[in-house]
Amino acid sequence: MSSDEPSPKYIFITGGVISSVGKGITTASLGRLLQSRGLSVTVQKLDPYLNVDPGTMSPYQHGEVYVTDDGAETDLDLGHYERFLDQNLTAASSVTMGQISAEVIERERRGDYLGGTIQTVPHVTDLVKERVRGLAEREGVDVLIVEVGGTVGDIEGQAFLEAIRQMRYEEPRNGTLAIHVTPLFHLKATDELKTKPTQHSVRTLRSMGIQPDIIISRTDIPADSGITDKLALFCDVPAEAVMTLETASSIYQVPAILERAGLTDLTLERLGLTARPAQLGRSIDSWLEWTDRLAETDRVCRVGIVGKYVELRDAYLSVKEALIHAGAQRSASVDITWIQSDDLDHADQPEIAAALADVDGVIVPGGFGERGIEGEVGVARFALEQDIPYLGLCRGMQNMVIAFARERLELPNANTTEADEHTDAPVIALLDEQREVTEMGGTMRLGRYPCELMPETLAYRLYQSEFAYERHRHRWEFNPQYRDRFERAGLLASGTSRDGELVEIAEVCDHPFMLGSQFHPELKSRPERSHPLFLGFIDSVLAESETALRHPVGATNSSH
């Protein structure tokens, strides 16, 4: 950035007392609000764990792994950022202490530090600041919002907070803003909200040299002005800068709540920024029009999500949000039934029929490992037999292929080599170039790849385009040796890689809607622009629900 250009502003958002307090939604909402005032914004997440990224973590540990166009495996909060800001982020928006530590050691091994003793200050903190400033300058934005993962007081996050303290000292007086998000706990015994946890959290933050400029207190019940006055007094923050954020029925209502609380105006004032006309579709009115559609639904889609991680629904967060987006576009709410796939591993068809009795469509999302595969194959087989709308995502597409092979190709042992390395019908397998790679993640296809769509197919009609560009995160592939046999039996490779070698989308021809994608379309869905595959699925589910009384789920379909 040249010297005559204005320096970017930095907003640092920290959380206190407990995790999952809403920092990510607050960060995404503030970004959307600043866009509504005509400012250019991007977002960055600082995660204090020592993993390089969440790619090798169990979903039970950290929810879904969100993948960017450039193949970065990141925290699920980046999904919130992308959806709210309608922006494609990169690996630079996800910084972990594992990445910082690894780079510091690499620099030390190269001799970059000229024999110096390597320390947290300055070497770790300098690299953190380099990552933060580097993103803001490369993107050329007015504002970079930086969310710090974890809670204030966590030992692993101290280096990030020290780097932020230094930046607040080094940047101009109105160049940074510190926002602290904490919970207000409601004691039922006395029916009162307690501010003491927030007071202690702010005290801890101040002990690290950071005085919050704004406090946002999360609460499940309304808080009166006495609460904000008390927080202002004991946390040394002006009363107008203490805001309570009551739990909303939808995360998409949060920007409007924070706008009414005055967060946008206060942020502009503190950073010395002037509002400009918003870009087309970025005004707050545009956002409110969309959230109004969420509340004005007159139809219900009953969808079953069948997966191996459903105990922690954040493992399928983007799938859930993509369903909400598509439903809103059709003025429909989505009623999700969560079904544990490994509970169905040994189920017969009547048991699967009972599990799906209350749904009009099924989604089988991604996952890794043998557990739950047979249950998902059984669900796919049932959807195939009963003409139930089915959308398979990554592993869900693979299990759809296995079910079709067993049912229509007379290959009773068809399987994925992920579950049965010695199957005599490996319709899903590792490709030859993957077999010699042993490092975890090294065999995966990650990030954005083109998909060429076959004319006169369902996929082509949904996309209305010859090409789609979608994000991948998977290891096993459709085995091309079986492709001709599948297509003769009625399962088409309606989307492929540009060279035609890799199957990206498979669909069943004589079915109302049975389609699977090797990629993860949920990662590209946006509130005001739902993904075509999810929209097509919702259309099919709505059509199914209208005829559900005439065609009960458990009835036998004579066409097969």
Active site (catalytic) residues = 394, 520, 522
Q: What is the DSSP letter of 197?
A: H
- The answer to whether the beta carbons of residues 182 and 214 sit under 8 Å apart is no
Structure tokens at 552: 């009960």
**How many contiguous H segments (helices) and E segments (strands) does the chain have?**
18, 23
Neighbours of 52 (CB within 10 A): 16
Structure tokens at 138: 């490369």
d(CA 90, CA 84): 16
Residue 40, by phi and psi: left (phi above 0), alpha (psi -120 to 50) or beta? beta
| Rounded-to-integer distance, Cα 381 and Cα 196, Å | 55
Alpha-carbon distance of 553 to 385, in angstroms, equals 11
Going edge to edge, which strands form the sheet with 214-219?
94-96, 41-47, 143-148, 9-15, 176-183, 214-219, 242-246
Could you tell me if 467 and 453 are in contact, meaning their C-beta atoms sit under 8 angstroms apart?
yes
Tokens for 77, please give them.
């909060």
Rounded to whole angstroms, what are the CA distances from 170 to 132, 165, 223, 484? Answer: 13, 9, 37, 64
DSSP conformation class of 315: G
Q: How far apart are CA 199 and CA 182, in angstroms?
A: 10
Q: Are 171 and 10 in contact (CB under 8 A)?
A: yes
Structure tokens at 9: 């502003």
| Chain mean position to CA 538 | 20
Cα–Cα distances in angstroms (integers) from residue 399 to residues 137, 176, 224, 414, in the given order: 45, 50, 53, 10
Are 391 and 516 within 8 A, CB to CB? yes
CA distance 266 to 34: 11
Cα–Cα distance, 364 to 236 (Å, whole number): 50
3 state SS of 395: helix
The residues near 68 (Cβ < 8 Å, ≥ 6 apart) are 74, 78, 88, 89, 90, 91, 93, 94, 447, 471
Characterize 263-273 residue by residue with b for buried, 16 or more Cβ atoms within 10 angstroms of its Cβ, and e for exposed.
bbebbbebbeb
Task: Produce one character per residue of 484-521: b if its CB has 16 or more CB atoms within 10 Å, e if not.
Answer: eebeeeebbbbbbeeeeebbbbbbbeebebbbbbbbbb
